[in-house]
Structure 1
Amino acid sequence: MNNKPYKVFLLLVFFTVGLTAQTEKKYQKTFYVTEKTQLRFQTNNIDVTFKTWNKDEVKVDFSIDFKNYSEKEIKNISDNVIVSARMQSSMDDTSFLQIENNSQTSIGRLSYQLKSGEIRLENLSWDNDSEKKHKSVSDIHREIDTSDDGFEDLDGYVLFENGDKVPLKDIDNSSNKQILSIRSQYVVYVPKYITIDIMADNATITFDGTFTNVIRGNFKEGTLQAETLQNEHNNMAIMNGNLKVKEISGGRYMLRNISNGLIGELENTMIDTEFSKISVGEIKKNVKFRDFKSKYFFYNLGENFESIEMFCEYSDINIFNEKKQHYYLEAYGHDAILNDGGTKIVAQPSRDGKKSKMFTIGKDDSETRKNTFKLDIVHGFVTLLYR
């Protein structure tokens, strides 16, 4: 395809407000788009939030607040924050708005740096068994909402060399000049019809609200978080990061080395994972999984989930069951262990590697089979937990 550039913008004309301890850098730009426009967005080291609105425009609104940094330090950081954009058209009247962002310094929503002193934490505790306790969809939503709490939400304080202390809960409002902070807000407003192609490296990407847009994304060393992602054509790959989405409906998600995957509700989706830990509040219906060496927690199965299929190798699958819920589970494979409420069933390894039916759960009748869980597993564990 021959692309003909018809407009070029070189951005990042930041303007400055104040040159004291508190300095603000701002950048704003608006682009007119149509239903034939696609957004190509790239960001490196800069967190971004997307929001939808009912305008035929893409608006970029980016601000950075510096506190207690010197003018030289602010200039050095700002000069290495680059935002550029260009609009291209093709022979079929499709246009592409390409926005690229790059920073040598990680620009998050809020980050701190100490010129001197140290952070001391108190009353730290972890509930190592919390994953093995039943959770509702609301519980997963709450985990997603609180997972961004910073260290200022922890018990502790900053201890300086002169003996002064600043409680972590007061760090944002502290007047101590030894505490440096960068607070940024980068919001991109897009129409509900625009297709978004996104590449993000070492950044948190947030989709705020319900997104029915087609989204194709590649995320590395960062976090993808969203309220609702709803489109059958969505296609996203996340590597070495985190996933926090309250509702996913449609599309395909490829997850590699996800240390904290939280999904509230899931339906009509294909999930492909490796070396990850994924918690799902509820599988509503029609979901397929393919996995290698991951750990799954399914806290609720929809009343009419229709079909769940899993193809797994070296996987650890934990399924919470309602005692009165009726569905049919059939497991094929070899070298797997089922723990059914304390009763263990061991399927021995197959010498020739051939798979066979290992076990079934539920009545094998037409009514029960309306909700079928098909499990193809080799060298893995399946644990059924009842509530």
Structure 2
Amino acid sequence: MAEVTFELFGETSEGKEVQECTLKAGEYTAKVLTFGGTLRSFMVPAKEGIRDIVLGCDSVEKYEEQSRTNYFGATVGRVANRITQASFELNGKIYTLAANNQGVNCLHGGINGFNRAVWEAREENGALVLTHTSPDGDEGFPGKLDVQVTYQLTEDGTLTIEYDAKSDADTLCNMTNHSYFNLCGHGVGSLEGHKLQILADEVTEIDETGAPNGKIFKVDGTPFDLREPQDLEERLEESHPQLATGGGFDHNFILGIEPQNPLRLAAKAYGGGLCMECHTTQPGVQLYTSNFLTPVDGKEGVRYDRRSSFCLETQGWADAIHHQDFPSIVLKAGKTYHQVTEYKVIKEN
């Protein structure tokens, strides 16, 4: 069971207080902000001592600035990833959303998604519990959605993020966490020395806007074949039309058709003498290699740049509302959305 403490981190531009919530278990420490439900740091034991493997910022002001572009460590919702044409039909009604991606898609819940909300926080049995209510019509989505995100940390290096939501009307719900990882340290600046394994046979193809086009391709014989650990930088330099379209990896790797309980192993990453396992109940994981991360000042004055980190965003398949063959992300009124993801980091033997 982790020790959970709270301290003031700063204020938003609207004057709302933001708390930094610290979970400590053995040699591991995770820091989470109430702004955006953001994982600000994950400090783990490494050969040199303690290493922070998550990119982030040093002030609320900087997080606000980055919250519409890079989403550092944020809880993303109501719907992670892209919704094409920034609209969808549900129960015979058309809902119009913000076109905050490429001028045509809705990305990560819209202009003021969950990543910009200031969440309520409490400690409960050694876990950090964050809650937020998204009102009916928020960012164009129907129904009042009550959301809870629970962070837990254990002494064996397992950081668990559990998501629960319930709506009073049929709506869409597909949440994730948008942490950028670099196992060599948040400030190293490149993916050199990283190997990645994703246990997926297929990937959803994307169009020129980064949204799925409805097609699925097999990873066999492509740079997307990560079923065995592969050097990530080498894979990024390979030639493939989908790598060119995404500017690198920015794709949903298919783990299954339906959510799975208990959790399944989705991915393993290796770097800097560490191994990180990602387990999830979700049917997909979006691998993003920070292709569009423009130079920005991060924690401790470090400069972050493109391809300096990777994201493993566990979620339902992107743009599922527009593709009948994709697993549904419709949340029926009164039903509970529930998903769990674990990131476990240990020293390599």
The TM-score by the shorter chain falls in which range? Answer: under 0.3
TM-score (ref. length: structure 1): 0.23
Larger fraction in strand: 1
Higher relative contact order (CA 8 A, sep 6+): 2
